[in-house]
Structure 1
Amino acid sequence: MKNILLICGSGASSGFMAAAIRKAAKKSGIEMKVKAASESQLDDLIKDTDILLIGPHLSYMLAELEQKTLGKAIKVAVIPQSIYGALNGPKAVEMIQKMEGED
């Protein structure tokens, strides 16, 4: 099972997105753990993460966050605003599945 960590500024909006992803994954029969957190919690949670998703409003931090995951088998991506803003769980699950296929 993949561990997905979704981060945003305070952890609030990512909580809604994480819930939408969990719901869509369950409906599709896909097993994944999705946790939402604030960016400040990243160092504590990174060790249990397979995929790190970043809220679009934190896209300016992408390079810094990629540095934090260097040497770890963690894939990092910014969730597009079109998915995040609409809380589109199915599209986010699709994005995660594509990321899992990139090895």
Structure 2
Amino acid sequence: MRILVVCGAGASSTFVAQRVRSAAEDRGIPCEARAGSESSIGADLDTLDVVLVGPHLAPRMELIRAGAASRGAVAVLLPGDVFSDLDGSRTLALVQESIASSRITAPTQREDHDD
């Protein structure tokens, strides 16, 4: 899984990305999770499976979701209490549910993946 966690400036998303990476690692799930800002979404979409969007960006969610879908990624609005998920397990579960419901496969299963 390749995940970008975005917030307005990219600062608070760092904590979420670290926690998701840790939760995935604990479960043996291959995962690249990194933080970014709203302005970095467009440039990164071709290399992502999931965009986790900070709750304060909810007013722009439909635009972000449409852009992600057009490039084969899924965008997920994070819950308002995302920062209380100290071990990243709830956020990882949200990612996994979103991938399953959108029928996006893991990078190792994607036909266009070059690894």
Structure 1 length-normalised TM: 0.90
Tell whether the 8 Å contact from 1:4 to 1:50 is kept in structure 2 after alignment.
yes
Q: Which residue of 2 aligns with 1:57?
A: 56
Deviation at 1:41, TM superposition (A): 1.2
TM-align CA RMSD: 1.3
Tell whether the 8 Å contact from 1:7 to 1:14 is kept in structure 2 after alignment.
yes
CA deviations 1:42-94 (Å, max 9, x no partner) are 12211101111101111111011123224321111101112x12144010111
Question: Higher relative CO (CA 8 A, sep ≥ 6), structure 1 or 2?
Answer: 1
The answer for unaligned runs of 5 or more in structure 2 is 104-115
Instruction: Flag as ranges the 4+ runs of structure 1 deviating above 4 A.
Output: none
**Are 2:25 and 1:41 equivalent residues in the alignment?**
no
Q: Which residue of 1 aligns with 2:96?
A: 97
The answer for unaligned runs of 5 or more in structure 1 is none
Larger Rg: 2
Equivalent residues in 2 for 1:1-40, closer than 5 Å: 2-40=1-39
Give me the whole-angstrom Cα distance separating, in 1, the residues matched to 2:69 and 2:3: 17
